[in-house]
């Protein structure tokens, strides 16, 4: 499998046209169908590690949930020469395959919450989104990134389903406002991947565009020289896991950090589910306080600022916060004193009764 992939990857690199390589199954899938001991032996014999096989080898992972899990009435072994397992075994194997990829930084799970055509649209839309292709509202109309505040203490490991923990380091680089540029170092057991992210704010149509580029360790070290000193480096433990066919990332902020980040835990997921259905899918073993999607106070850019937010000129407000602030200002009634009309009404009243008012003295008196 790896040799075949390498051949196509090399063909892609030498191709003069834009090229997308789709692998039906990937290297980690093998671990879902053999014992853990056999898988570890294969890795040792070949000098492999999970970060290289899972995170660095593929730009994106999409797990298409089996019809056996959520669309059982459409699951069949008829006319499938290579499919013999019943529904229950198919569910188990599907879960094992999905779990094998837990930990990949760009992992999308496409479930059976819509009809098959909708499932395909979500899959294609997910690929387009990661590639930065604008599809308008045709494919990802309901898909969104969600963030939740979690109260401690962190539950014991046995409370979680199978998970992967990663060391994550974020460093903001110098950039022209309102754009944001950051580096991410992410890995486990001494192996790391490196990502450069350019976040372009307030593009046409109110979009926020993120351009992510995988870089080498050498590039990472060189780019650290451009660190923005008005921001602290962010250190996290990132725990990735699957619950109810939803892929979650729990970010646990670690020292050294700004006092505002001490004990902070944020849960993130991507979902096209409605609010009621999603609530039922959230991890019940976590103490989720509230949703903070779009809340500027929980933006990593703001959390990393050295200065106090009240005095900082770099504090960034999300579009959602700005809209909410404008709505509150519009809805807030004008101040009234002792039941008298407010200032605008007084001016209008005086204007309409000019013959009875002695110049500006009347306005001053009111």
Residue 247 three-state SS? strand
Q: Classify residue 175 as exposed, middle or buried by CB count within 10 Å of its CB (0-12, 13-18, 19+).
A: middle
Better-predicted residue by pLDDT, 175 or 349: 175
* pLDDT for residue 202 is more than 80: no
* pLDDT for residue 25 is more than 60: yes
The enclosing H or E element of 42 equals: helix 36-46
Q: Where are the beta strands (DSSP E) in 228-275?
A: 234-243, 246-253, 265-271
Better-predicted residue by pLDDT, 101 or 358: 101
* pLDDT for residue 35 is more than 90: yes
Report whether 150 contacts 289 (CB < 8 A). yes
| Section 66-86 average pLDDT | 78
Q: In this structure, how many other beta carbons lie within 10 angstroms of the beta carbon of residue 119?
A: 18
Q: In this structure, how many other beta carbons lie within 10 angstroms of the beta carbon of residue 98?
A: 21
Per-residue tokens: 334: 């004008």
Residue 236: per-residue pLDDT: 97
Distance, in Å, from the CA atom of 283 to the CA atom of 241, rounded to the nearest integer, reads 10
Residue 360: per-residue pLDDT: 34
Distance, in Å, from the CA atom of 264 to the CA atom of 252, rounded to the nearest integer, reads 6
Residue 178: per-residue pLDDT: 75
Per-residue tokens: 326: 């404008």
How does residue 352 score in pLDDT terms, banded at 50, 70 and 90? very low
> In b/e form, how buried is each residue of 182-196, taking b as 16+ CB within 10 angstroms?
bbbbbbbeeebbbbb
What is the number of helices (H) and of strands (E) in the chain?
A: 11, 11
The enclosing H or E element of 321 equals: helix 319-331
Residue 328: per-residue pLDDT: 63
Per-residue tokens: 138: 């045709």
Residue 355: per-residue pLDDT: 42
Report whether 251 contacts 262 (CB < 8 A). no
Q: What is the mean pLDDT of the chain?
A: 84
Q: Report pLDDT digits (tens) over 224-270.
A: 999 999 999 999 999 999 998 888 999 999 999 999 999 999 999 98
How does residue 115 score in pLDDT terms, banded at 50, 70 and 90? confident
Q: What share of the chain is helix, strand, coil (3-state, %, to 5)?
A: 35, 25, 40
Q: Report pLDDT digits (tens) over 273-296.
A: 888 888 889 999 999 999 999 899
Place of tokens 């390498």: 6
Distance, in Å, from the CA atom of 144 to the CA atom of 139, rounded to the nearest integer, reads 12
How far CA 9 is from CA of 100, 133, 214, in Å, comes to 22, 21, 15
Percentage with pLDDT > 90 across the chain: 56
Distance, in Å, from the CA atom of 350 to the CA atom of 356, rounded to the nearest integer, reads 9
Find, among 166, 169, 229, the residue nearest to 194 by Cα: 169
């Amino acid at each position: 499998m790896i040799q075949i992939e390498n051949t196509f990857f090399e063909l892609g690199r030498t191709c003069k046209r834009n090229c997308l390589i789709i692998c039906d199954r990937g290297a980690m899938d093998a671990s879902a169908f053999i014992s853990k001991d056999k898988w570890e032996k294969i890795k040792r014999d070949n000098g492999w590690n999970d970060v290289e096989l899972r995170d660095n080898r593929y730009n994106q992972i999409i797990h298409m949930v089996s019809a056996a899990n959520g669309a059982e009435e459409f699951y069949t072994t008829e006319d499938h020469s290579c499919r013999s397992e019943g529904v229950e075994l198919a569910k188990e194997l599907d879960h094992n395959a999905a779990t094998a990829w837990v930990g990949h930084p760009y992992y999308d799970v496409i479930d059976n919450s819509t009809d098959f055509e909708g499932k395909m649209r979500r899959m294609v839309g997910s690929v387009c989104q990661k590639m930065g292709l604008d599809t308008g509202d045709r494919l990802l109309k309901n898909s969104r990134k969600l963030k939740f505040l979690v109260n401690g203490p962190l539950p014991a490991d046995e409370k979680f389903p199978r998970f992967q923990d990663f060391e994550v380091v974020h460093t903001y680089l110098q950039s022209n406002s309102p754009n944001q540029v950051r580096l991410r170092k992410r890995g486990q057991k001494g192996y790391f991947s490196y990502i450069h992210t350019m976040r372009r704010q307030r593009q046409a149509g109110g979009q926020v565009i993120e351009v992510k580029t995988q870089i080498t360790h050498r590039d990472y070290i060189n780019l650290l020289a451009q660190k923005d000193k008005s921001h602290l480096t962010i250190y996290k433990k990132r725990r990735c896991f699957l619950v109810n066919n939803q892929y979650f990332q729990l970010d646990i902020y670690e020292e050294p950090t700004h006092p505002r980040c001490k004990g902070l835990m944020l849960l993130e997921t991507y979902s096209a589910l409605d609010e009621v259905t999603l609530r039922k899918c959230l991890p019940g073993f976590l103490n989720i306080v509230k949703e903070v999607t779009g809340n500027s106070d929980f933006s990593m850019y703001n959390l990393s600022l050295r200065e106090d937010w009240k005095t900082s000129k770099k504090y960034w407000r999300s579009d959602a916060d700005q809209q909410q602030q404008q709505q509150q200002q519009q809805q807030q009634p004008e101040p009234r004193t002792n039941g008298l009309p407010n200032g605008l009404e007084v001016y209008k009243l005086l204007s309409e009764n000019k013959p009875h008012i002695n110049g500006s003295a009347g306005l001053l008196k009111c």
